[in-house]
Structure 1
Amino acid sequence: MTVTTVTSIYLLAALAGSLLPANQSWQQPEHGIQLFVETNGLHTGIIMPLQSDAHDWTNLIRPEHLADPTQYGSHILVGWGHAGVYRNAQHWRDLRFADAASAIIGSDSVLLHVYHLKYPQPYPHYRRSIEVTEAEYRKIVAAIQKRFVLDDKGNPTPSPGYGDDDLFYEASGHYNAFHTCNNWTNEVLANAGIRAGLWTPFSGGVMRWFPEPQENTD
C-alpha cells in the first residue's frame, strides 16, 4: 500500500468520522453553563469559566503561574496536544517536519495549553458558544483534570506559552495520528454526552457540530 493510498484512506476516514454523530439526540439545556469551543485553524480547545457553582479551577490554575498575573482571566481556554507541535507551531505555517513526524508516529510528550480570557463572546468562524448542564460540565472538568501531571504536593507544572496570557502545563496521555489534539477536544465533549463527531483528527471536524453565532442585523 502506497503512502498516497494510506493518506487518502486517512483523509476519507476523517471526513466520515466528522460527519457521523455521537450523542445525536443531545439538546442544549435552556439554562445551563455557557462554554465555548474554539479553534485557531490547527488546534481546538474548550473555554470554561474559572469559577462557577459547578467547579472552581483557581486552586489548580493560579495567577502566580503567569509572568504577568494581571492577565489572569475570567475564563480559560484549555487544549491538549503534542508538546513539540504545541510549542513550535501556533499556526499551520509554523509546523516543523520533525514535530509532524513525531506526532504522526506517536509520542508521550504532551502538554495542556491554557489561555486566560476575560469575558469571552462568541465569534464567527473560530469561537462557538454552547450551553451544558452541571452534570455534563462536571464530566468535562474531570476529563481535563486527569490530564494534569501533579507533583507530590498536588501542584501542576507550568511553563511559558506564546505570550503573557497563556501557559503550557505538563500533561499525561499519548498523542498520535489517530488521537490528535482535536480528537481529544471532541472526546471530552462526546464522553460528557454532548453531540460531536465520531472521529475528528482535524479542527474542522470538531467545529462543524457547533453552530456559528448569528450576526446582529439590527
Structure 2
Amino acid sequence: MLRNAARRVSVSLASAALLFVAATIATARWGDRSLWPPAPGAPTTEVFIVSHGYHAGIVVPRAALVDQASRRGLSALGYIAMRFADFDQLEIGWGDEGFYREVSTAASLTMALAMRALFRPGNPSVLHVVGVNGDPRAMFTSSDLVRVDLSGAGFARLADMLDATFARGQGRFVPEELGPGLYGMSLFFRANGTFHLFHVCNHWIADLLDAAGVPTVPLLATLPSGLLLDLKWRSGLVRLPLDGTA
C-alpha cells in the first residue's frame, strides 16, 4: 500500500515537472536577433536589472532618457529626467499600488497584502522612481544586479514602452505624481496597467527586455529569482559581484 502511494506521488511530481517544462517552453519569447545582442563595436546603452528579493526594478541612465525624450517626443521620460536632474541614473519599478506603497522591505510584507495584490482583479498600479548616482551596487548593497548592454534600437523600443507605462492626467502631458517613494530620493507615479498574478513587477521587467530584443520567459519571471535565472540560462547574463570588480 505504501509502495502504491509512493508511486502515485512520484507520478504526480513527474507530471507536474513535465507540465512546468512544457509551459516554460510554450511561453518562451525568443528575442530579436536584429536588436540583441548588440553588434560588435556598435554603441550600447547599459541598464541594470535589480532584484530586491520580493520585488525587481530596472536602472537606466538618465542621459539616455533625455536623449530619447528629445528625439522621439517621449513626454513622460522627459519630465522624469528633469525631475531627477541631479542623478546619473534612475531605478524604475512597477507594481500594485497598495502593495508597493506599503511594503518598503521584505520584513513588512504580509500574506494579506500579497494575496490581495495577486488575486483581486483590477488592482491599480504605480511606478516607483529612485535617483541613483555612481555604481548602483553602492546603493543596493543587499540586492542582486544583472547588467544588460542594449543596442541603440533596442533601448529606443524599451524607452517607448517605459514612457507608455506612465499614466497622464486627463488633458495632461506629464506623469501624475503620487508622493514620496520608499528610499533615497524617490517618488511614486500613477501607472498604466493592472497588477495580478499573471502580470507582476517581474513580468513588466521581462516585457521591457523583450521589447529591447532580449529573450525572456514570462513563466519564469513570475519571481525575481526566476527572472535572473532566465537571463543567465538563455542570455548568459549573470549576477554582478557586490565588490564592484565587474
TM-score using structure 1 length = 0.78
- The answer to whether the 8 A contact 2:131-2:184 is kept is no
- 2:68 is matched with 55
- 2:195 is matched with 175
> Which residue of 153, 156, 179 maps to 1:135?
153
Residues 197, 58 of structure 1: alpha-carbon distance in 2 compared, 3 angstrom cutoff: closer
Shift of 1:102: 1.9
- 2:225 is matched with 204
More helix by share: 2
CA offset digits 1:79-104 (Å, max 9, x no partner): 11101111111233212333212212
TM-score using structure 2 length = 0.70
CA RMSD of aligned residues (A): 3.3
> Which residue of 13, 23, 27 maps to 2:37?
27
The CA distance in 1 between the partners of 2:103 and 2:23, in whole Å, is 27
- The answer to whether the 8 A contact 1:108-1:172 is kept is no
Map of 1:75-154 to 2, 5 A cutoff? 75-105=89-119, 106-121=121-136, 126-151=144-169, 152-154=171-173
Residues 16, 205 of structure 1: alpha-carbon distance in 2 compared, 3 angstrom cutoff: farther
- The answer to whether the 8 A contact 1:28-1:130 is kept is no
**Segment drifting more, 47-56 vs 18-27:** 18-27
Amino acid at match of 2:37: Q
**Secondary structure of the corresponding residue to residue 211 of structure 1:** coil
Residues 32, 107 of structure 1: alpha-carbon distance in 2 compared, 3 angstrom cutoff: same
The CA distance in 2 between the partners of 1:202 and 1:142, in whole Å, is 25
Residues 21, 150 of structure 1: alpha-carbon distance in 2 compared, 3 angstrom cutoff: closer
Corresponding position: 1:157 with 2:172: no
Amino acid at match of 2:58: I
**Secondary structure of the corresponding residue to residue 209 of structure 2:** helix
**Secondary structure of the corresponding residue to residue 73 of structure 1:** coil
**Secondary structure of the corresponding residue to residue 37 of structure 1:** strand
Give 5+ residue unaligned stretches, structure 1: none
The CA distance in 2 between the partners of 1:216 and 1:134, in whole Å, is 25
Percent of aligned positions that are identical: 21
The CA distance in 1 between the partners of 2:32 and 2:152, in whole Å, is 20
Map of 1:27-46 to 2, 5 A cutoff? 27-30=37-40, 31-46=43-58
Amino acid at match of 1:169: F
**Segment drifting more, 207-216 vs 191-200:** 207-216
The CA distance in 2 between the partners of 1:98 and 1:121, in whole Å, is 32
Amino acid at match of 2:157: K
Shift of 1:54: 4.6
